[in-house]
Amino acid sequence: MARYFMTLAYRGAPFHGWQTQPGACTVQQTIEEGLSTVLREPVKIVGAGRTDTGVNASKMVAHFDLDVPLQMSGPSLCRALNSILGKDIAIYNVEEVAPDLHARFSARSRTYHYYVVTRKSPFFYPLSWQAPPSLDFEAMNRAASLLLTTSDFTSFAKLHSDAKTNICRVTRAEWVRLTEDGWVFIITADRFLRNMVRAVVGTLVDVGRGKMTVDDFAAVIGRRDRCAAGTSMPPQALYLHDITY
């Protein structure tokens, strides 16, 4: 058996998330159909994570296994896939890896970005969130720093999910100014729960709007209750940005 890692990106809006599900167009299903067409055999892929409907990935990693090693080069397979997958998915690299390297379980960290703009823009709105210009990003960063000392993220976890534990280790959580009107929230952790980043950002935005203090944010974490946190943010501004192994 030969195992291959694939690095790719996609725009989430046209898809019902990453994971294959009956009757829905998903990223995983689309790529599997493309691979099966090019390689002329059924191929299943395993992604490094599962993004929700509408969420983007500027970098996703997936692996697939073949009984017989590829008869074409990685760049040739990328070109073949990119020619049939449409404009919303881009395959950047395919390379053979050790058989025990796993796209999901071997990952050491994942980083998400959430982009906001504080001025109306006809260019950025499809892939970012238009924020009120009065958001207090300093207060939001003070609140975000509390995530670095948090281990239980139940308050930001999707209710009734299939996660066995809500424990995560966050190593970076901060708002970074990109332009006069643009900001990005960067968060890195060893793992993420379903809907976690959008719930975290929504609660931080409540701090930025003055609806919640930094102490209130700390209390939300301590309550371990999703109903105590803020609303989930729109998905189009969220990107799976990086995965490390």
190 is catalytic: no
Q: Which candidate in 52, 152, 181, 216 is catalytic?
A: 52
CB contact at 8 A, 238 and 197: yes
Task: Tell me the C-alpha distance between 189 and 144, whole Å.
Answer: 13
Three-class DSSP labels, 30-89 = HHHHHHHHHHCCCCCEEECCCCCCCCEEEEEEEEEEECCCCCCCHHHHHHHHHCCCCCCE
Task: Tell me the C-alpha distance between 44 and 36, whole Å.
Answer: 8
| Closest residue by Cα to residue 188 from 176, 202, 203, 205 | 176
**What single-letter amino acid sits at 59?**
K
Task: Tell me the C-alpha distance between 93 and 61, whole Å.
Answer: 10
Beta strands in 120-169 (DSSP E): 129-130
Task: Tell me the C-alpha distance between 24 and 127, whole Å.
Answer: 22
Task: Tell me the C-alpha distance between 114 and 235, whole Å.
Answer: 9
Instruction: Estimate to the nearest angstrom the gap between the alpha carbon of 123 and the chain centroid.
Output: 22
User: Which positions are annotated as active-site residues?
Assistant: 52
